[in-house]
Amino acid sequence: QRRILEASSQDVVDTLLELIHKAGGKLKGGEAVNELAKANTAFRSVIDSSGGLKKFCLEHREVEFITESGGQGCVQRRIDEVSSQDVVDALLQLLNDHGGKLSGSSAVSELLKTKTAFKTYLNDRGGLRKFCAMRREINFVAEPG
């Protein structure tokens, strides 16, 4: 009887990232599952226990499953993932660097220099003012003029 190697979810993610890299950044879903099974037969069980590759990718922030129009889905490294805390940390650093005060437009401009994904993140939350209103660490103060 063939011995089945044990595998963790992180083992699958690590191998998947290697396969994605070797494939040039994207890997077709069916091909990804087949290549994972070649690397370790237990990887297929890990994927299946999540409900398939798409659901597995939803559970792990390092990879994402993209469904391309008219075709099969593919897996890629998640691009520029940004958390709320990432934005807060960057804003607090900017405020420290500027004496505790910075105009809204300057703050957004400076944030973009740090990481371009911050702009999309803030836009998705209604802008800098609304983002700051949701956070207790930062006050957005509108000044006349």
35-64 per-position pLDDT tens digit? 999 999 999 999 999 999 999 998 887 888
Instruction: Output the pTM of the full model.
Output: 0.54
Residue 6 clears pLDDT 80, i.e. is over it: no
CA-wise closest residue to 105 among 127, 136, 77: 127
Q: What is the mean pLDDT of residues 97-108?
A: 88
The structure tokens 């800098």 sit at 128
For residue 5, give the amino acid letter: L
- What whole-number distance in Å separates Cα of residue 14 and Cα of residue 119? 29
The structure tokens 């559970």 sit at 59
- What whole-number distance in Å separates Cα of residue 98 and Cα of residue 136? 19
The structure tokens 């889905």 sit at 73
Q: What is the mean pLDDT of residues 83-91?
A: 84
Is the CB of residue 16 less than 8 Å from the CB of residue 46?
A: no
CA distances from 133 to 48, 137, 141, 144 (A): 42, 10, 10, 19
* Per-residue model confidence (pLDDT) at position 135: 81
Residue 86 clears pLDDT 90, i.e. is over it: no
